[in-house]
A and B are shown apart, each in its own frame.
Chain A
Amino acid sequence: MSAINRPGPWQRLIVHLLVYVLAATMILPFAWMLSTSLKTRSDAISETPELLPPGWPSEWQWHNYLDAWEAVPLDQYYPNSLIVSVVVTVVSLLHNALAGFAFAKLRFAGRRISFWLMLATMMLPYQVYFIFAYIICVKVGYVDNYQAMIVPFLASAFGVFYMRQTISSIPDDLLDAGRIDGLTNFELFWHLVAPNVRAGIGALAIFTFMTHWNSFFWPLIVIDSKDYYTLPLGVAELSSGLYSDSWPIQMAAATIITLPMIVVFLFFQRWFVQGIALTGVKG
């Protein structure tokens, strides 16, 4: 950019300050959550709250985490959340990627019409279909079990669409070369396509995992017994009942379910951002 319209130093300073203050409002609630999670109950509701929990380190209430772990109880819900999220992510990724490959690169009868019909389902709000989907799950005995949270998500229109867009960018010449070598379509996918769209697959994997790790509405509908509760269901219950005014316990529980997501995000941020950016570019 040429020098003419570069803002002056004061303007730059003000812009930086404004952005940083807004960024602080993003962080502050989380800092407050961490801080409260280490306080005693009376310190938490004191009229002069402090951001730093008093009495570092000896009086920091680390046992809040153990209490929260017991209260939820997390050792039951953590495995449930993991089972659902991992199975859905791994299985749906394979199916979505294969179907995306077929729609992008194979010329089969009915390809166009089935792709457009699938796209059309993407705009449907879940309010109109979840009721009958629930009835189906009741009839086949999925309700109040892992199946209800897994089977309907073993493939998704968004996932297929996303993989098709990603795989379309692979040059046809590469695949033709593979065909001349006598590779089957599955081998083409496995040896030539998949290694070339790792970033796209990674982005979709993280996106899918995050969606199901945080999923709330559908589990709320299909799960009754606590044996199959996922983390969001369990933690949501803390705000009513025995711990409804134990803010430190609630904040400790919130921290425990938040941290893994933050760590995953920080590690795979590039894929995350690429994935999100790609969903927007289609618009």
Chain B
Amino acid sequence: MLTWARETISGWSFVAFPLAIIFVFVALPTVAGVGLSMVEWQPDGSVAFIGLRNFTHAAQSPEMWRALRNSLIFAMVSVPLTVIVAFPLSVAINASWFVGRTLMRTIFFLPMVISIVAIGLLWRWVLESSDAGLLNNFLDQIAAGLHSVGLIKSVPNEWPNWLGNSGWGLTTIIMVSVWRNLGFAIVLYLAALGNVPQSSYDAAAVDGATGWQTMWRITWPAVWPMTFFLLITGMITALQVFDVVYVMVGTLPQAWTDVLNLYLYREFTLGRFGYAATIGVVVLLLTVVVTSVQLLWLRERGEVSA
């Protein structure tokens, strides 16, 4: 009994500080944030309880729906795209005959470690709308080449504004996100591929399966738990997207690049804390939906294996 008491005191002396930090800066503010979503917060600091009026306001706000649409498109496109590019890449890099495995892993992971601000500056320059932009210049040369061999009739004299307020803005942001997150998915896939038993491959080989067939019929199901993990965590992170949009197109409420978090940030900087918290709660609800899918799946899987 005495050791138990001593162990409890000692255990709590180790965990008390981290738990206190998490309580004060995460748990308590979350509860308070849900409360804030039901008040009107005046810039002078006065507070009035208004029930769900912030939510009805949000439901009637075109800005809210637009931001929600863009966030959902961003999450639904960028996350599966990352996975579907990363998987075959990882299988190729993992193959015994592949030359330069470590180097490739390093290269693909590089964008992950670099400040999103530097990434943003860099891509804005690559996508510069003048001909000096690397991408436009590259396209000019391709178009000129195609024109000279007669494949296209005329050379377009301008390219879309890649970061402008059109579908291109959102597309560009999705592409840059995929570019940046690819390395994360590859590193995790390589770890998962290392755990696929050799016997599965041998069986496929005996059946005369091609590399392509083996990849989709043997390897894909074998690493599906990792794919699922990447999809779920990717969705949750994508719903919180902010930095990449902020540095590439700024905080202006543009119809095609305004995402939930940018909208929230604008409301926050205007001092409308209550309404900002409402948007935060919407993100929380979306996150809960995604996480529930994960838990349901894990439970089902647990039953299947039991």
Beta-carbon contact of A125 and B239 below 8 Å: yes
How does the 8 Å CB contact mask read for A1-33 relative to B, with 1 for contact and 0 for none? 110111100011001101110110111111011
Q: In the complex the two chains form, what is the Cα distance from A104 to B68 in whole Å?
A: 40
- Say if the beta carbon of A90 comes within 8 Å of chain B: no
Is there contact, CB below 8 Å, between B284 and A125?
yes
Contacts A19-B93, A283-B233 given; does A126 touch B107 at CB 8 Å = no
A133 at the interface (CB under 8 A from B): yes
Which of A11, A26, A265 has the most CB atoms of chain B within a 10 A radius of its CB?
A: A26
B21 & A276 in contact (Cβ 8 Å cutoff): no
Q: B118 near A19 (CB under 8 angstroms)?
A: no
- A62 CA to B72 CA, complexed, in Å: 44
Beyond A4-B208, A5-B214, A273-B105, whether A210 also contacts B18 by CB under 8 A is no
For A116, what are the chain B residues with a Cβ–Cβ distance below 8 Å?
A: none
**A190 in the interface, Cβ–Cβ < 8 Å?**
no
Q: Do A135 and B210 have beta carbons less than 8 Å apart? A: no
Give min CB distance, A210 to chain B, whole Å: 6
Complex: A135 Cα to B63 Cα, angstroms? 26
- Asked if A32 meets B125 with Cβ closer than 8 Å, knowing A102-B14, A276-B188, the reply is yes
Q: Given A26-B111, A102-B14, A261-B114, decide whether A133 and B29 contact each other with a Cβ distance below 8 A.
A: yes
- Give Cα A261 to B18, complex, Å: 27
Q: How many residues of A contact B (CB 8 A)?
A: 103
Tell yes or no: B12 within 8 A of A by CB: yes
Q: Is the interface of A mostly helix, strand, loop or mixed?
A: helix
Assess the B108–A45 pair: CB atoms within 8 A: no
B179 touches A26 (CB 8 A): yes
Q: Which residues of B contact A12 (CB under 8 A)?
A: 97
Distance between Cα atoms of A18 and B105 in the complex (Å): 15
Contact residues in A for B139 (Cβ distance below 8 Å): none
B24 at the interface (CB under 8 A from A): yes
A26: chain B residues at CB < 8 Å are 107-108, 110-111, 179, 182-183
Q: Is A242 at the interface (CB under 8 A from chain B)?
A: no
Known: A95-B18, A136-B25. A19 touches B104 (CB 8 A): yes
* Stretch from B75-83, B126-134, B149-157 that touches the partner: B126-134
Question: Which 10 A-B pairs give the minimum distances between C-beta atoms?
Answer: A108-B11, A283-B229, A155-B18, A132-B29, A102-B14, A129-B29, A127-B280, A280-B188, A128-B280, A277-B191
Q: What would 11 more interface pairs be, CB under 8 Å, given A216-B243, A258-B115?
A: A16-B99, A26-B179, A45-B130, A49-B134, A98-B14, A110-B12, A117-B27, A124-B26, A127-B240, A133-B25, A236-B247
